[in-house]
């Protein structure tokens, strides 16, 4: 009578035993994975950037320096919240964040070490923390992606604020729930003020914009001629281009609004060292991310803007970072996402 | 054989058979003797574990003062959120009750062609995580979003929670009531509505409660469909403000809603007792002849299977066919599958062990304490995984640091999240076995532990096993808590899936999704076979 239970329990136990002893040894060995935690001498990294992008970079780091790395991947904001909960007992030594806002939140809570002047000097000041506690490692720009077959280059808008005009009605794609769109709105709030941002969002809403689930889908739609314009990050077009075999295989092109326009906000991926966790290894990691090899990786693989001098971006039709103007904004301030979401909610763009 | 309400939090068994006068039964179950410490102490421990997130939420909610809590609670947005979430949960529950009862009746009581096959097929959607179903629907119907989208996905994924207990109850039910109703001149439909349906009430309430809480706590469907329900707003709150107070307040509110629903479910059973003293006597009701409707009736299971299984299958096949060009990452998928199975098996073992004392106690004693302990075990069930994860981060970093980011804390998170699934199964099956046998055993001088081991557990075994399988299945699909708590460097199928969809690589994600669904289908199939097959022998 007890057989079903005994069988089930045995089956569950067998799974545990088999799974933990199935493979031999090696990094992929579940037995090792189960026991894995920060070993002595391992540098623990929390990464808000995707494993597929960061994984190869970390292997390069270990190869170059001999320092072993253990990584926890998650959303940047979730990891920031986890780091806040962990406090000073966190196993993490460094935090690589998808955006500046999460680093800003940790900085505000006193959870980041100050970085050395030498480290900060490698990157233009506007791409790092004003307090010197995190440093940008790669940049991305907001752009207007457009279809030249549908819109001659001469008729492109001069500012993102123009998109509320009647000639753009029903023609602009955007991704309302995407973090990149939200931080664009935050940037607009910080630089152009709440009033003007609200007016823009209301006008934009009334102009019948087309909502998409993500930036890549917008680029697809623009490239396919479904809509003429889209508000996206710059690198989606180039990712699509490398899949297609070159930018000349695609119709869509990126366009930067001239001047200090909120539509051309530059945001960064950044790195910070956790409070009390400064070490040679942590410093080596930060130095590596700001070195030639990693910066070239960002330029070539993720098509982002490298932030150090001497490494060129691999984005043929966009100006170099130095001539990107974008709005002047302290990127740490982009942590006021809550007000942005409240505003988007009120306006009805969710 | 014990039919068991998968996950049913039955107060007094789940199968009404009308063979015992309620009064007599109540006296039996309500013995006022002091509950044995052997059960009470571990049951208290289980309840304490289930309440751990509350401790954390209270700390975080009140750290900025009571005013802040009131501020969040009284926001117009919070009220809207509550209404929206309850509407969604209500709509999903209603739809699941209708689908679950229809399919259960067709597969158990009618002469539907291939009904045993349909019984298994109808259970399989449990193997599909909502985030997979959500992506599938979005990729087929890009316009689907909001309330309708969340409603469709949640209903398609969670109706088996109703189907399983209702099918089990239908099979155990004494058909005499319905027969009498027919003989008094009621139409088949009237007889079903007035004689059968009331007897199904405990099964409906139990299944409906699980669906409602599932709809409240699920993140996959509401986030993909961009519907602002509790979980999505709690996530957004963590993501947007880095201020953990609003999320904690909303979490507490969600726990309060859960406990109200649990209480309502208990009340909906009223004081009626559905347990039995003996096991014999029940017949399976006569098979209803569908007549000319026999073939057209197949449309019902076909339609449900198309929406709940067909859509995800088409999307997964498409993604896989696109992804095959890149080669099948067999090593990665294999490693992630082994890790997934290990975590889930440990989660199921721990959860079941923790659930046994609570379930047995609740089935055997009617006092206030057993009831309280059982309800406490529900506290974590409606919380989003991320809240439970943060709670365990907070607590284990401070008080159990050696275990932090190691397997034990992750397993504990699974237990907090999924305890009710196992407690309900233990309670239901323990309540169905006659307490008289235990009394006999005690009278022979057997010690309480021996009685538990040699009488109670063996009698309840099939039910407990089914509960363990359900927890196993649910752990396999869990994502948010696993992401934050799994040991450094490990990866489950669900977290790999998350990684791949994070770079919009649906085709690269497909192999993980396919393996996850196929692996989950095995325990789901076992549950379905249990329910689908008619009693074949057994006690």
Question: pLDDT tens, B186-232?
Answer: 887 888 888 888 888 888 888 999 999 999 988 888 888 878 888 88
Ordered per-residue pLDDT tens for chain A, 350 residues: 456 677 777 788 888 777 766 544 334 444 444 444 455 678 999 999 988 888 999 999 999 999 999 999 988 888 998 999 999 899 999 999 988 888 988 998 999 999 999 999 999 988 999 899 999 999 999 999 999 999 988 889 999 999 999 999 999 999 887 778 888 998 899 889 999 999 999 999 999 998 887 788 889 889 989 899 999 999 889 888 877 778 888 999 999 888 888 898 888 999 999 999 999 999 999 999 999 999 999 998 888 999 998 888 887 777 766 666 666 777 877 777 778 888 887 887 76
pLDDT value, residue B91: 97
pLDDT value, residue B71: 82
Phi/psi-derived region of residue A144, left when phi > 0, alpha when psi is between -120 and 50, beta in every other case:
beta
Could you tell me which of B357, B466, B464 has the C-alpha nearest to residue B48? Answer: B357
- Give the chain B residue whose CA is nearest to the CA of A7: B465
User: Best interface-test mutation with A: which of B405, B466, B485, B522 has the largest number of A CBs within 10 A?
Assistant: B405
Helix ranges, chain A (H): 3-21, 30-35, 51-65, 76-86, 100-108, 117-121, 179-192, 194-206, 215-223, 235-244, 280-289, 292-300, 337-347
Distance CA A248, CA A253 (A): 10
Contact partners, residue B393, CB within 8 Å, separation at least 6: A82, A85, A86, B404, B484, B485
Same fold, A41-139+266-318 and A140-264+335-347: yes
| Cβ-contact B350, B414 below 8 angstroms | yes
pLDDT value, residue A32: 45
* B190–A contact, CB cutoff 8 A: no
Contact partners, residue A341, CB within 8 Å, separation at least 6: A182, B236, B240
- Give the chain B residue whose CA is nearest to the CA of A75: B239
Task: With beta carbons under 8 A apart, name residues in chain B contacting A73.
Answer: 483, 495, 499
What tens digit of pLDDT does each residue of B390-411 get? 999 999 998 888 888 889 999 9
What is the Cα A300 distance to its own chain's centre?
16
Give A 298-317 residues with CB within 8 A of chain B.
none
| Cβ-contact B143, B173 below 8 angstroms | no
Q: Are strands A172-174 and A229-233 parallel, antiparallel or unpaired?
A: parallel
- Residue extents of the structural domains in chain A: 41-139+266-318, 140-264+335-347
* pLDDT, chain B, mean: 82
CB contact under 8 A, B484 and A350: no
Angle at A181 between CA A176 and CA A186, to 5 degrees: 115
With both helix axes pointing from N to C terminus, report the angle between B115-123 and B160-172 in degrees, rounded to the nearest 10.
140
CB contact under 8 A, A85 and B488: no
Q: Are strands A305-306 and A253-255 parallel, antiparallel or unpaired?
A: unpaired
Indicate the Cα dihedral angle A75, A81, A82, A87, nearest 10°: 150
Catalogue the E-assigned strands of B108-261.
Answer: none
| Beta bridge mates, A270 | A97, A136
Give B 417-446 residues with CB within 8 A of chain A.
none
With both helix axes pointing from N to C terminus, report the angle between B493-502 and A51-65 in degrees, rounded to the nearest 10.
100
Q: How many CA atoms lie within 13 A of A211 on its CB side?
A: 16
CB contact under 8 A, B242 and A12: no
User: Out of A28, A337, A338, whose CB is closest to B335?
Assistant: A28
Q: How many CA atoms lie within 13 A of B299 on its CB side?
A: 4
- What is the topology classification, in CATH, of domain A41-139+266-318? D-Maltodextrin-Binding Protein; domain 2 (3.40.190)
Q: Are strands A43-47 and A69-73 parallel, antiparallel or unpaired?
A: parallel
Distance CA A104, CA A270 (A): 10
CB contact under 8 A, B465 and A12: no
Distance CA A146, CA A222 (A): 6
The torsion angles phi and psi of A117, rounded to 5 degrees, stand at: -60, -35
pLDDT value, residue A38: 53
Domains annotated on chain B, with CATH: 39-272+294-319+328-532 (1.10.3720.10)
| Cβ-contact B381, B445 below 8 angstroms | no
- Give the chain A residue whose CA is nearest to the CA of B241: A338
Task: With beta carbons under 8 A apart, name residues in chain A contacting B405.
Answer: 37-38, 72, 91
pLDDT value, residue B430: 81
User: Best interface-test mutation with A: which of B465, B472, B512, B522 has the largest number of A CBs within 10 A?
Assistant: B465
How far from A85 is each of A44, A72, B394, B479, CA to CA, in Å? Answer: 17, 15, 5, 19
Could you tell me which of B283, B56, B312 has the C-alpha nearest to residue B175? Answer: B283
Could you tell me which of B158, B174, B197, B199 has the C-alpha nearest to residue B280? Answer: B174
Task: With beta carbons under 8 A apart, name residues in chain B contacting A23.
Answer: 335, 338
Could you tell me which of B289, B144, B306 has the C-alpha nearest to residue B224? Answer: B144
* B399–A contact, CB cutoff 8 A: no
| Cβ-contact B430, B456 below 8 angstroms | yes
ipTM confidence: 0.80
Minimal Cα–Cα distance from A212 to chain B, Å?
A: 9
And the tokens for A310? 């001497």
Q: Which CATH class for the A140-264+335-347 domain?
A: alpha beta
């Amino acid at each position: 009578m007890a057989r079903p239970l005994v069988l089930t329990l045995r089956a569950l136990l067998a799974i545990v035993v088999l799974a933990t002893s199935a493979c031999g040894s090696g990094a992929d060995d579940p037995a090792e994975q189960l026991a894995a935690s920060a070993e002595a001498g391992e540098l623990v990294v929390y990464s808000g950037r995707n494993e597929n992008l960061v994984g190869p970079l970390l292997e390069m780091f270990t190869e170059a320096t001999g320092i072993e790395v253990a990584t926890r991947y998650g959303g940047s904001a979730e990891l920031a919240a986890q780091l806040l909960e962990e406090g000073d007992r966190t196993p993490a030594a460094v935090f690589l964040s998808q955006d500046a806002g999460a680093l800003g939140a940790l900085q505000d809570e006193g959870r980041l070490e100050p970085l050395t002047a030498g480290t900060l000097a490698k990157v233009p000041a506007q791409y790092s923390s004003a307090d010197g506690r995190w440093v940008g490692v790669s940049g991305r720009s907001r752009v207007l992606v457009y279809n030249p077959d549908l819109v001659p280059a001469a008729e492109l808008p001069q500012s993102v604020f123009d998109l509320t005009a009647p000639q753009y009605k029903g023609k602009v794609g955007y991704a309302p729930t995407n973090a990149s769109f939200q931080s664009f709105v935050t940037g607009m709030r910080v630089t152009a003020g709440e009033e003007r941002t609200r007016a823009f969002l209301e006008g934009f809403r009334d102009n019948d914009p087309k909502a998409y689930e993500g930036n890549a889908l917008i680029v697809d739609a623009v490239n396919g001629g479904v809509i003429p314009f889209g508000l996206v990050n710059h690198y989606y077009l180039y990712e699509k281009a490398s899949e297609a075999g070159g930018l000349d295989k695609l119709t869509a092109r990126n366009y930067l609004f001239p001047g200090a326009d909120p539509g051309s906000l530059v945001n960064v991926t950044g790195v910070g060292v956790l409070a009390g966790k400064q070490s040679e290894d942590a410093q080596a990691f930060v130095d590596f991310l700001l070195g030639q090899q990693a910066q070239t990786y960002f330029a070539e693989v993720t098509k982002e803007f490298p932030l150090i001098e001497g490494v060129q971006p691999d984005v043929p039709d966009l100006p170099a970072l130095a001539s990107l103007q974008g709005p002047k904004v302290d990127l740490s301030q982009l942590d006021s996402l809550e007000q942005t979401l409240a505003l988007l909610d009120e306006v009805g763009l969710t | 054989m014990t039919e068991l309400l998968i996950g049913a939090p039955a107060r007094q068994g789940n199968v009404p058979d009308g063979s015992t006068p309620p009064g007599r039964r109540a006296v039996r179950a309500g013995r006022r003797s002091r509950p044995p410490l052997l059960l009470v102490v571990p049951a208290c421990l289980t309840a304490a574990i289930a309440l751990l997130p509350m401790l954390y939420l209270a700390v975080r909610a009140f750290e900025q003062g009571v005013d802040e809590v009131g501020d969040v609670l009284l926001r117009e947005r919070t009220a809207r959120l509550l209404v929206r979430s309850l509407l969604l949960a209500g709509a999903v529950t209603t739809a699941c009750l209708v689908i679950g009862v229809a399919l259960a009746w067709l597969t158990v009581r009618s002469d539907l062609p291939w009904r045993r096959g349909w019984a298994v097929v109808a259970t399989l959607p449990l193997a599909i995580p909502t985030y997979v179903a959500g992506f599938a629907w979005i990729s087929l119907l890009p316009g689907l979003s909001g309330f309708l989208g969340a409603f469709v996905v949640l209903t398609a994924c969670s109706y088996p929670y109703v189907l399983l207990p209702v099918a089990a109850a239908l099979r155990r039910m004494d058909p005499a009531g319905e027969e009498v109703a027919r003989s008094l001149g009621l139409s088949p439909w009237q007889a079903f509505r007035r004689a059968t349906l009331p007897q199904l009430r405990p099964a409906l309430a139990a299944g409906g409660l699980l669906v409602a809480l599932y709809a409240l706590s699920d993140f996959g469907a509401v986030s993909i469909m961009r519907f602002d329900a509790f979980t999505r707003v709690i996530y957004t709150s963590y993501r947007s403000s880095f201020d953990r107070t609003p999320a904690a307040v909303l979490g507490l509110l969600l726990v309060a809603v859960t406990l109200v629903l649990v209480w309502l479910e208990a009340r909906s059973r009223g004081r009626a007792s559905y347990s039995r003293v003996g096991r014999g006597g029940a017949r399976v009701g006569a098979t209803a002849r569908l007549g000319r409707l026999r073939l057209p009736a197949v449309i019902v299971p076909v339609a449900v299977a198309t929406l709940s299984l067909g859509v995800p299958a088409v999307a997964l096949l498409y993604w896989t066919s696109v992804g095959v060009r890149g080669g099948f990452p067999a090593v990665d998928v294999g490693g992630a599958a082994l890790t997934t199975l290990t975590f889930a098996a440990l989660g199921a073992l721990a959860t079941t062990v923790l659930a046994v004392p609570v379930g047995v106690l609740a089935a055997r004693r009617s006092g206030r304490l057993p009831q309280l302990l059982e309800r406490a075990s529900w506290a974590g069930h409606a919380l989003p995984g991320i809240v439970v994860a943060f709670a365990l981060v907070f607590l284990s970093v401070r008080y159990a640091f050696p275990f932090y980011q190691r397997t034990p804390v992750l397993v504990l998170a699974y237990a907090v999240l999924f305890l009710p699934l196992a407690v309900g199964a233990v309670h239901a099956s323990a309540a169905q076995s006659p307490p008289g046998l235990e009394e006999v055993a005690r009278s022979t001088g057997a010690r309480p532990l021996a009685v538990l081991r040699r009488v109670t557990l063996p009698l309840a075994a099939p039910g407990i096993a089914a509960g363990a399988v359900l927890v196993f299945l649910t752990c396999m699909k869990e994502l948010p808590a696993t992401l934050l708590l799994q040991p450094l460097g490990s990866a489950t199928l669900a977290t790999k899936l998350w990684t791949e969809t994070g770079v919009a690589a649906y085709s690269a994600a497909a192999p993980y999704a396919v393996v996850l669904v196929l692996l989950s289908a095995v325990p789901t199939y076992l549950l379905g076979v249990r329910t689908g097959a008619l009693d074949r022998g057994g006690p």
